[in-house]
Amino acid sequence: MEELTKVQEVINIIIDFGVLYSFQILGALIILGIGIYVAGWLSRVVMRMCEKKEMDITLTHFMGQVVRLVVLVFVVIMAMGKFGISVAPLIAALGALAFGASFALQGPLSNYGAGLVIILTRPFVVGDTVSIEGVSGVVEEVTLSTTILSTEDGEKITIPNKHIVGEIQINSFENKVVEASVGISYDDDPEKAIDIIRNILLSMEKIPDTPAPQIGIEQYADSAISIGMRYWVPTKDYFNTMYSVNLGVYKKFKEAGITIPFPQRDVHMIN
């Protein structure tokens, strides 16, 4: 009987609560529903406006999320007001909680702060090729906490944003430079070798005309004249293009009778 009495008391409390606050609950739910819809709608409108102005995709998503979050915060405050809850003490409590949590969450918070700096200053955008902290890849996504790169091998590199802001960054945009050299014999004509290499680079579809490839005598080594070459290739085709150029140089040199010499040393015997 005691258990039935307790159950009945709970049911009576629920009924009384429903009778007293039914309109407040209904009003709060209506406000939340409309607010969520309006927040999503405004977020999409802002994103479409940013896309029409051809803004960076990362900044576009960030602006949309900020608008959505601001609207939702106001909606929650309005819904709480339907129950007569004072917002000022809650804000003060959240501020104190955030101040205390900031010491325990310095790492994640610093990533968010650095991510905000990257999104607003845009030192690089999605599709650029960047080298940071000894790693290199194409920027796939920039979030508040991390920056994600991808490589030609299909690898995903995730870098915490705090390791990007304040560090040296190299941004070569959509391409990456190849720096290579090949040695020819001192008996061969370096101008002929340079022309062969230039024709090979110009015939490669994936090597852009701008900036133009650079070919010339790099140094006079002990056993060969080193012909240096610098050319840009799409980052995702870096190694494949470089290997194709190297093979093409070897074949054309062989057809033209240009020798790629082995290291040599002259030894003189003195009696």
Beta carbons within 8 Å of 24's beta carbon, 6+ residues apart: 82, 83
125-173: CATH topology is: SH3 type barrels. (2.30.30)
CA 243 – CA 239 distance, rounded (Å): 6
**Lateral strand order in the sheet of 135-142:** 156-160, 146-150, 135-142, 129-132, 169-173
- What is the arithmetic mean of pLDDT over 153-166? 90
Q: CATH 3.30.70.100 residue ranges in the chain?
A: 175-256
CATH architecture of 175-256: 2-Layer Sandwich (3.30)
Q: CATH 2.30.30.60 residue ranges in the chain?
A: 125-173
Higher pLDDT: 109 or 141? It is: 141
Instruction: Specify the CATH class of 2-104 in words.
Output: mainly alpha
Q: What is the mean pLDDT of the chain?
A: 82
**pLDDT tens profile 161-204:** 989 988 888 898 889 999 999 999 999 999 999 999 999 999 99
User: What is the model's pTM?
Assistant: 0.63
Q: CATH 1.10.287.1260 residue ranges in the chain?
A: 2-104
Higher pLDDT: 6 or 122? It is: 122
Beta carbons within 8 Å of 149's beta carbon, 6+ residues apart: 130, 135, 136, 137, 138, 139, 140, 156, 157, 158, 159
- What is the arithmetic mean of pLDDT over 136-149? 90
Kindly report each contact of residues 76-79 with a partner whose C-beta sits within 8 Å and lies 24 or more positions away, as own/partner. 76/32, 76/35, 78/31, 78/35, 79/28, 79/31, 79/32, 79/35
Binned at pLDDT 50, 70 and 90, residue 98 comes out as low
Binned at pLDDT 50, 70 and 90, residue 5 comes out as low
